[in-house]
Structure 1
Amino acid sequence: MIETERLILRPHILADFEELLAVSNDPEVMQFITHGAQATRQDVWNKLLRNIGHWTALGHGVFAVVDRQSGRYVGDTGLADFHRDLGDDFDPFPEAAWVFARHGHGKGYATEAAHAAHRWFDAERGARRTVCIIDPDNAASIGVARKLGYNQYGETEYKGDHVLKFERLP
């Protein structure tokens, strides 16, 4: 568990399912990830189990992020291995991710939480190159990436969508 001034980052638990389902089906939140397509309960259940399993299999993964004061779930962030099959310049490296509920937008939660997750990862796993992909129209996420030290190094197609490839060097 990691604590910041306003947030708690912890591995996911099964009780996160309904909140994760709500975020995964919010068209505004998912507009740049799934283009607003609805996720089934099965899809979200598998995502939750994937998030939990990362910790067991790899010793790191995606954290659930909760507000320290209210205890309310606000999103996810962390570094994982999603096996995206995007090539040798991407796949072998830990991939950063962040997705936040609409009620967490515009508060700096993504940057605060992702910074904490990256600091933890660097301390636990050693500073190394990390990567992420972002929809070119997602200015907010690109802004978070830049604040974390990511720079664009390429472009590619992922599941039929054009995405930008970013890297963060140690």
Structure 2
Amino acid sequence: MRSILHLGYIDPMIETERLILRPHRLADFEAWYAMFTDRELFRFIAAPTLSREDGWNRLLRYAGHWSLLGFGLFAVFRKSDGQFIGETGLADFHRGLGEDFDGYPEAGWIVSRSMQGQGVALEAAAAAHRWIDETLSPKRTVCLIGKENLPSFRIASHLGYKPFAERNYKGSPHVVLERVK
């Protein structure tokens, strides 16, 4: 693992057996946007259909996390060929879900449909959690998972998350989970 200063923010790069994780860059936009417009990928996630403008603004928000908070979401690439395959990490999205959720680093992960079922999301999310544990040592992290999203519940369990409440988020029932160190 290494971290360098890039354009005023921390720019960590993590390598696992199969993956490379690093903060998103402007050059990632087309591959990232293509993934985010795959509606089947988002069947369990309360994410809007993004226009190119909305997608661009979201990518800039990701850079803002790194610049202002020192942590954020990582773009995930397959090490063998450098292909963008998803994202993972921890962020602060200010979702308005209450004092027991907002203000804590919130974990998230998503990989393209072609990479699902291969353990890639868990490998990436575990690497991002090791990074934040070593770098910022948060005592508590949280995540939000749609009640139907069984694959994400399995990943969350492997990472040490436990459910502590249910909330409605953007009109859908979700479970809120925490990982306490």
TM class by shorter chain equals: over 0.9
Match of 2:24 among 12, 16, 26: 12
Using the size of structure 1 for normalisation, the TM-score is 0.96
Report the RMSD for the aligned CA atoms in angstroms: 1.1
Partner of 1:159 in structure 2?
Answer: 170
Q: How many residues align?
A: 169
Are 2:62 and 1:44 equivalent residues in the alignment? no
From the two aligned structures, give the one with the greater strand fraction: 2
Match of 2:105 among 65, 78, 94: 94
- Any runs of at least 4 consecutive aligned residues in structure 1 with deviations exceeding 2 A, and if so which? none
Q: Which runs of 5+ in 2 are unaligned?
A: 1-12
Partner of 2:131 in structure 1?
Answer: 120
Match for 1:14: what amino acid? L
Using the size of structure 2 for normalisation, the TM-score is 0.90
Shift of 1:139: 0.5
Change over 3 Å in CA distance of 1:90–1:34 after alignment to 2: closer
Shift of 1:104: 1.4
Match for 2:170: what amino acid? K
Residue pair 2:46, 2:170 contacting (<8 A) in 1 also: no
In structure 2, distance between residues paired with 1:152 and 1:34: 18
Shift of 1:128: 1.4
In structure 2, distance between residues paired with 1:34 and 1:135: 8
In structure 1, distance between residues paired with 2:169 and 2:46: 11
Identity, in percent, stands at 51
CA deviation map 1:91-142 (0-9, x unaligned)? 0210001111112111111100000000000000014110000001000111
Residue pair 2:46, 2:172 contacting (<8 A) in 1 also: no
Matches within 5 A, 1:130-145: 130-145=141-156
Q: Which runs of 5+ in 1 are unaligned?
A: none
Aligned with 1:88: secondary structure? coil
Partner of 2:85 in structure 1?
Answer: 74
Partner of 2:7 in structure 1?
Answer: none
Which moved further from structure 2: 58-67 or 97-106?
97-106
